[in-house]
Chains A and B, each alone.
Chain A
Amino acid sequence: MNITPILEREKKALILPLTVYKELEKLANSPDYCKRKHPDNPMLNTLAIRACKVIIIMQRAHLIDIFADPDDGDFADNVFLHVFTKKRMQFDILLITQDRGLANEAMNLGKDTRAVKVPKKILVRRIDKNGFLKKFFDSKQQKNSSSVEVVSEEIPINERFAFTKEIVQIEGNLPVSKIPTAGEDVIAVRNNTQRQIRLLEELGAGGEGSVYKTNMAGFVAKIYKPEKITRMRYEKLQLMLTKDINCAGVCFPVALILNQRSEFVGYLMQAAKGRDLGKSIFMPMLLSKYFPQWNKIDTVQLCVTILQKLKYLHDRNVILGDINPYNILVVSPTEVYFVDTDSYQVEGFICPVGMPIFTAPELHKKNSQYGLRTLGNENFAVATLLFMIMLPGKPPYAMPDGGGIVENIVNGEFSYPLGELKTGKAPKGPWRYCWSHLIYKIKETFYETFWRDGAFHDEKKRPGSGHWLRLFEYYLELLKNGKLEAQDDESIKIFPSRLKKDKNKTYARCILCNKEYEEERLEHGICRDCLNDGEKYTCEKCGCEMIYTNYQRYIKHAKRYEICRDCFEKKNTIYQRIKCKDCGKTFEITYGEKDFYDSKSMSLPVRCEECRKKPRVTSTHSSSTTQRNVPTQQKTTTYTSPPESSSKKSGWCFITTAVCEYLGKPDDCFELTTLRDFRDNWLANQIGGKEDIREYYRIAPLIVERLAISEEKHCLYGRIYSEYIEPCLEDILHGRNECCRKRYHEMVDMLRQKLSINFIESEDHLDE
Chain B
Amino acid sequence: MNDLLRKQDLETNPMTRVPICLCLDVSGSMGRIVGGETRKTGRTVEVDGRTWDVVEGGITALQELVGGVNLFYDNLLEDDVARYSAEICIVTFGGNSAEVVLDFANLERQEGERQEKISSLQARGETPMGEAVNMALDCLEERKKSYKDSGVDYFQPWLVLMTDGEPNGDVAELNRAISRTNELANNRKLTVFPIGIGVEADMSCLAKFSPKRPPLRLKGMNFKGFFEWLSSSVSRTSQSMPGSKIKLDVEGIKSWGELD
Binding site for B on A (CB under 8 A): 278-279, 282-286, 324, 326, 355-358, 391-395, 398-402, 404-406, 415, 425-431, 662-664, 711, 714-715
Instruction: Give the residues in chain B near A662, CB-CB below 8 Å.
Output: 3
Q: Kindly provide the distance from the CB of A417 to the nearest chain B CB, expressed in whole angstroms.
A: 14
Query: Known: A279-B81, A415-B151. Is A430-B242 also a contact (CB below 8 A)?
Result: no
Q: Which 7 A-B pairs have the closest CB atoms?
A: A429-B11, A427-B151, A356-B243, A664-B4, A393-B14, A400-B151, A394-B14
Q: Which A residue sits closest to B6, measured CB to CB?
A: A664
Q: Is B152's CB under 8 angstroms from A398's CB?
A: yes
Q: How far is the CA of A714 from the CA of B149 in the complex (A)?
A: 7
Q: Which B residue sits closest to A358, measured CB to CB?
A: B241
| Complex interface residues of chain B between 2 and 22 (CB less than 8 A to chain A) | 2-5, 7-8, 10-15
Q: Is A428's CB under 8 angstroms from B146's CB?
A: no
Instruction: Give the residues in chain B near A399, CB-CB below 8 Å.
Output: 151
Cβ-based interface call for B103 (8 A): no
| 6 interchain pairs, CB-CB under 8 A | A402-B148, A425-B151, A427-B150, A428-B150, A429-B150, A430-B12
Instruction: Give the residues in chain A near B152, CB-CB below 8 Å.
Output: 398, 427
Instruction: Give the residues in chain B near A283, CB-CB below 8 Å.
Output: 14-15, 80-81, 84
Q: Kindly provide the distance from the CB of A352 to the nearest chain B CB, expressed in whole angstroms.
A: 14
Q: Which of B7, B11, B14, B153 contacts A282 (CB 8 A)?
A: B14
Q: Is B14's CB under 8 angstroms from A284's CB?
A: yes
Q: How far is the CA of A285 from the CA of B107 in the complex (A)?
A: 14
Q: Is A355's CB under 8 angstroms from B151's CB?
A: no
Query: Known: A430-B11, A715-B149. Is A355-B84 also a contact (CB below 8 A)?
Result: no
Q: Which A residue sits closest to B4, measured CB to CB?
A: A664
A-contact 0/1 string along B231-246, CB 8 Å cutoff: 0000000010111100
Q: Kindly provide the distance from the CB of A768 to the nearest chain B CB, expressed in whole angstroms.
A: 28
Cβ-based interface call for B145 (8 A): yes
Q: Which A residue sits closest to B83, measured CB to CB?
A: A285
Q: How far is the CA of A355 from the CA of B245 in the complex (A)?
A: 10
Q: Is B241's CB under 8 angstroms from A356's CB?
A: yes
Q: Which of A279, A285, A355, A391 contacts B241 (CB 8 A)?
A: A355
Q: Is A285's CB under 8 angstroms from B84's CB?
A: yes
Query: Known: A405-B243, A664-B2, A664-B3. Is A400-B13 also a contact (CB below 8 A)?
Result: no
Q: Which of A357, A398, A415, A664 contacts B5 (CB 8 A)?
A: A664
Q: Which B residue sits closest to A427, measured CB to CB?
A: B151
Q: Kindly provide the distance from the CB of A356 to the nearest chain B CB, expressed in whole angstroms.
A: 3
Q: Kindly provide the distance from the CB of B86 to the nearest chain A CB, expressed in whole angstroms.
A: 13
Q: Is A357's CB under 8 angstroms from B241's CB?
A: yes
| Complex interface residues of chain B between 47 and 81 (CB less than 8 A to chain A) | 80-81
Instruction: Give the residues in chain B near A286, CB-CB below 8 Å.
Output: 80
Q: How far is the CA of A406 from the CA of B14 in the complex (A)?
A: 17
Q: Which A residue sits closest to B12, measured CB to CB?
A: A429
Instruction: Give the residues in chain B near A394, CB-CB below 8 Å.
Output: 14
Q: How far is the CA of A399 from the CA of B11 in the complex (A)?
A: 11
Instruction: Give the residues in chain A near B241, CB-CB below 8 Å.
Output: 324, 355-358
A-contact 0/1 string along B149-165, CB 8 Å cutoff: 11111000000000000
Q: Is B239's CB under 8 angstroms from A714's CB?
A: no
Instruction: Give the residues in chain B near A428, CB-CB below 8 Å.
Output: 11, 150-151
Q: Is A398's CB under 8 angstroms from B153's CB?
A: yes
Q: Kindly provide the distance from the CB of A614 to the nearest chain B CB, expressed in whole angstroms.
A: 54
Q: Which B residue sits closest to A282, measured CB to CB?
A: B14
Instruction: Give the residues in chain A near B242, CB-CB below 8 Å.
Output: 356-357, 404-406
Q: Kindly provide the distance from the CB of B214 to the nearest chain A CB, expressed in whole angstroms.
A: 27
Query: Known: A284-B13, A357-B241. Is A279-B80 also a contact (CB below 8 A)?
Result: yes
Q: Kindly provide the distance from the CB of B137 to the nearest chain A CB, expressed in whole angstroms.
A: 15
Q: Which of A278, A356, A404, A405 contacts B239 (CB 8 A)?
A: A278
Q: Which B residue sits closest to A356, measured CB to CB?
A: B243
Instruction: Give the residues in chain B near A391, CB-CB below 8 Å.
Output: 14
Q: Is B11's CB under 8 angstroms from A393's CB?
A: no
Instruction: Give the residues in chain A near B148, CB-CB below 8 Å.
Output: 400-402
Q: Kindly provide the distance from the CB of B121 to the nearest chain A CB, expressed in whole angstroms.
A: 29
Q: Which of A282, A400, A663 contacts B3 (CB 8 A)?
A: A663
Q: How far is the CA of A663 from the CA of B81 in the complex (A)?
A: 29
Q: Kindly provide the distance from the CB of A329 to the nearest chain B CB, expressed in whole angstroms.
A: 15
Q: How far is the CA of A612 from the CA of B107 in the complex (A)?
A: 62
Q: Which of B5, B12, B244 contacts A356 (CB 8 A)?
A: B244
Q: Is B12's CB under 8 angstroms from A393's CB?
A: no
Q: Is A357's CB under 8 angstroms from B14's CB?
A: no
Instruction: Give the residues in chain B near A358, CB-CB below 8 Å.
Output: 241
